[in-house]
Chain A
Amino acid sequence: MTTETSTTLNEAGEPILITERQDGILIARMNRPERMNALGGGLPQALNDMWFGFRDDPDLRVLVLTGTGDRAFCAGADLRANNERAQQLGATSAAEMLAADRSPRINGSITSNNFHLYKPVVAALNGWTLAGGCEMAMGCDIRVIEAHAQMGLPEVKRGMGAKSTTHKLAFLTYLSAGLDLDWTGDPISAERAVELGMANEVVPTGKGLERAIEIARSLAARPQNYLRYHKERVFESLHTPLAYALSMEQRYPPQDQEGYRAGLEASLKATLPTAPRK
C-alpha cells in the first residue's frame, strides 16, 4: 500500500495517478486525460492502493481527489479497456471478468469504502463526472464542482447497472431526485447538482482544485478526533430509527477527559462568529 505517485503509466508515458503531499493533505489526480480519466489501464488498482495508503498513514488527515484536464473528472469504467481485458481472459460475461480481477480490497474501495474511512475526502469535479466516476465522487464527503462540469449516471442507457450507487442516491439527494437521475441517465449541470445535494458548491472553471485544497487545509487544521467522531457517527446513524440513533449517541463519550478540558479552555478564549462563514 502506498500513497506514492503510481508507477503505472498512461498512454503519454506519465504516471496514471499523480499524488502530492501538502502537510497533512494528500492530493491525488487521476491522469488519463486521453481516456477522460476513465477507470481502466491500471487506474482502479492505483486508486485502490492510494486509498488504503491514505487510510493507514497517520500523518495524512484529508484526501483531495481530482482529475487531469478540464474535460473530465472521471468518465467511469473504461469500456474499451474492459473489452480488451475480457478478450485477454477469454471471458464471456461480466461475472467471469469480475471473478478474474477480484481482490478483497479492490473495486469496492473506489466507490464505497469511504463509508468506513473516517477521514474527510474532498472531491474537485473538474469536468464530466459520469457513471463509475460519479459513484466515486458520491463516495467522497464534500464535492466542489466547476461551472462547466456535469454529473450523471448513464448506465441505464447502456443496459448496465450502477451497482454501488442506488443506496448513495438516497443518502445524498432525496428519493424522487435519486430515482430520476438513475432512471433517466441524463446528466445534470453543476448548479442542478448543488440544488440536489449531489455537490456542495459551484466554483468557476479551473478553480475546483484550489477551492478543494482550501477546504482540505481548513479541515486538516481542526482536531482530528472530532472529525473522525462525527463522520463515524453520521454514517452509522444515518437511516437508522431516530430513537435508536439518538440513544446510541448518548452512549459515546465525546472524548478523553484531558482533550475535553483543553478544548473547553480554548473555546472560552475563542470569539463567536458575527458573520456567515464558509
Chain B
Amino acid sequence: MSVKTSTDGAVFIVQMTGKTLDRQTQRDLAAAWVAFEDNDAVKVAVLHGSDGFSVGHDVPELLAAGDPAASQPEAGMFPMVISKPVIAAIEGQCYGLGLELALACDLRVAAEGALIGLPDAHLPVSYRVASVLLPRSMFLGKSLEVLFNGTVLDAHTALSQRLVNSVAGSGGALAAAVASAKEMASHFGTVEAFRKHEIWGMSGQTVPYAMTVARGMGPAVFR
C-alpha cells in the first residue's frame, strides 16, 4: 500500500510510504480522507511521510504518461475539503507537489532539519496549487521569491515566514503533531467544523459577503 492508516485514540494517522506522490499515492490519499471523514470516532488527522515528507511528483511516471494533463492533481491532494482538521507533520524534504499537499492541510508542524520549497528540479511542472495557496499563507513578496527562485527554507525560516505553525525537534514532527491533534480532538465538534469550513470557504471572498454568509449559517450551527 502506498498509504497506511492507523488510529491513536481520536487521532487518525495517515502515512505515505513512498518518497513521491505518484498517481496511486494520490488516489490512496483520497480513500484515506474519505475513511477519516466517515469515522465519527476520529476527530483530527495527522499526515506524514516515511523517508522525509514527500519530494513531490513521480517524474518517470509523468514522462511515461507524456501528456501534461497527467500532472493534474487527484482529489486526495485537497484535504482542506474534509470537515475535520488535518495536520501535516513535515520531516526532511517537502518539495514541489509535496509542499502543495502540505499547504492544503490545515496546520503544519516542521521538524528541525526539514527542507521546504519548490526547487529547480521541479521547474518543468507548474505549481498551480502553490500559486494559489502560497500567497495566502506567506507574505506576497516571499511567496513570489519561493515560486520564482527555487528557494528552499529550513524549519525556522518557514516558521518566521508563516509557512508552518510550529517547529519540533529533529525526528519529532509526528509526535508533536499527534500531541497537538489529541489536544484539538478533545474539543473538536460541530462549531469547529463550521469554523474550518468558514475559513477555507471564505478565503478570498469579500468581507461583506463572508459576513452575510456567516450570519445566515450561524444560528443553524449554534442552535
- Please list the residues of chain A having a beta carbon within 8 angstroms of any beta carbon in chain B: 120, 141-143, 171-173, 196-200, 215, 218-219, 222-223, 226-227, 229-231, 233-234, 237-246, 249-250, 252-255, 257, 259-268, 270-278
B124–A266 contact, CB under 8 A?
yes
B129–A142 contact, CB under 8 A?
no
B123–A197 contact, CB under 8 A?
no
1/0 per position for B135-178, CB-CB distance to A under 8 A?
11011111111011111111001000000000000000000000
Residue B217 CB within 8 A of the other chain: no
Select one of B60, B68, B150 contacting A257, CB under 8 A. Answer: B68
- Which residue from chain A places its CB closest to the CB of B207 in the assembled complex? A175
Residues of A within 8 A of B153 (CB): 276
A261–B204 contact, CB under 8 A?
no
Kindly state the separation between the CA atoms of A63 and B115 in the bound complex, as whole angstroms. Answer: 29
A270–B121 contact, CB under 8 A?
yes
Given known contacts A254-B71, A255-B68, A261-B66, A273 and B148 CB-to-CB distance under 8 angstroms: no
Residues of A within 8 A of B151 (CB): 277-278
Residues of B within 8 A of A173 (CB): 139
Count of interface residues, chain B, beta-carbon cutoff 8 Å: 54
B117–A273 contact, CB under 8 A?
yes
List 4 tightest A-B contacts by C-beta distance, closest first: A263-B124, A197-B139, A249-B128, A254-B126
Closest chain A CB from B145 CB (angstroms): 5
- Please list the residues of chain B having a beta carbon within 8 angstroms of any beta carbon in chain A: 55, 59-60, 62-63, 66-69, 71-72, 78, 93, 95, 115, 117, 119-129, 131-132, 134-136, 138-145, 147-154, 157, 200-201, 203-205
Kindly state the separation between the CA atoms of A191 and B217 in the bound complex, as whole angstroms. Answer: 42
B69–A253 contact, CB under 8 A?
yes
Kindly state the separation between the CA atoms of A242 and B66 in the bound complex, as whole angstroms. Answer: 29
B131–A227 contact, CB under 8 A?
no
Residues of B within 8 A of A229 (CB): 126
Chain A to chain B contacts (Cβ below 8 Å), 25 pairs:
A120-B144, A143-B141, A173-B139, A215-B149, A222-B123, A222-B149, A234-B140, A238-B135, A241-B205, A242-B136, A242-B204, A243-B201, A250-B128, A259-B124, A261-B63, A265-B63, A266-B124, A267-B121, A267-B122, A273-B117, A273-B119, A275-B115, A275-B152, A277-B119, A278-B151
Kindly state the separation between the CA atoms of A223 and B68 in the bound complex, as whole angstroms. Answer: 17
Q: Inter-chain contact count A-B, CB under 8 Å?
A: 162
Closest chain A CB from B198 CB (angstroms): 12
Q: A261-B66, A268-B60 are in contact. List 13 more A-B contacts (CB 8 A).
A: A142-B141, A199-B141, A200-B141, A230-B131, A233-B132, A241-B204, A254-B68, A255-B126, A260-B125, A272-B119, A273-B152, A276-B154, A276-B157
A260–B140 contact, CB under 8 A?
no
Given known contacts A241-B204, A246-B129, A249-B131, A222 and B150 CB-to-CB distance under 8 angstroms: yes
Kindly state the separation between the CA atoms of A157 and B136 in the bound complex, as whole angstroms. Answer: 32
Residues of A within 8 A of B126 (CB): 226, 229-230, 252, 254-255
- Which residue from chain B places its CB closest to the CB of A271 in the assembled complex? B121
Residues of A within 8 A of B150 (CB): 218, 222, 277
B124–A234 contact, CB under 8 A?
no
Residues of A within 8 A of B67 (CB): 257
Kindly state the separation between the CA atoms of A264 and B66 in the bound complex, as whole angstroms. Answer: 10
Kindly state the separation between the CA atoms of A180 and B10 in the bound complex, as whole angstroms. Answer: 42
Residues of B within 8 A of A265 (CB): 63
- Which residue from chain B places its CB closest to the CB of A226 in the assembled complex? B123
Kindly state the separation between the CA atoms of A254 and B66 in the bound complex, as whole angstroms. Answer: 13
A219–B152 contact, CB under 8 A?
no
Kindly state the separation between the CA atoms of A242 and B81 in the bound complex, as whole angstroms. Answer: 11
Residues of A within 8 A of B78 (CB): 246
B141–A237 contact, CB under 8 A?
no
A237–B132 contact, CB under 8 A?
yes
A218–B60 contact, CB under 8 A?
no
Given known contacts A222-B148, A268-B63, A200 and B131 CB-to-CB distance under 8 angstroms: no
Closest chain B CB from A246 CB (angstroms): 6
Closest chain B CB from A51 CB (angstroms): 18
Kindly state the separation between the CA atoms of A257 and B139 in the bound complex, as whole angstroms. Answer: 33
Residues of B within 8 A of A197 (CB): 138-142
Select one of B95, B140, B152 contacting A276, CB under 8 A. Answer: B152
B141–A120 contact, CB under 8 A?
no
Kindly state the separation between the CA atoms of A229 and B128 in the bound complex, as whole angstroms. Answer: 9
Residues of A within 8 A of B134 (CB): 234
A242–B121 contact, CB under 8 A?
no
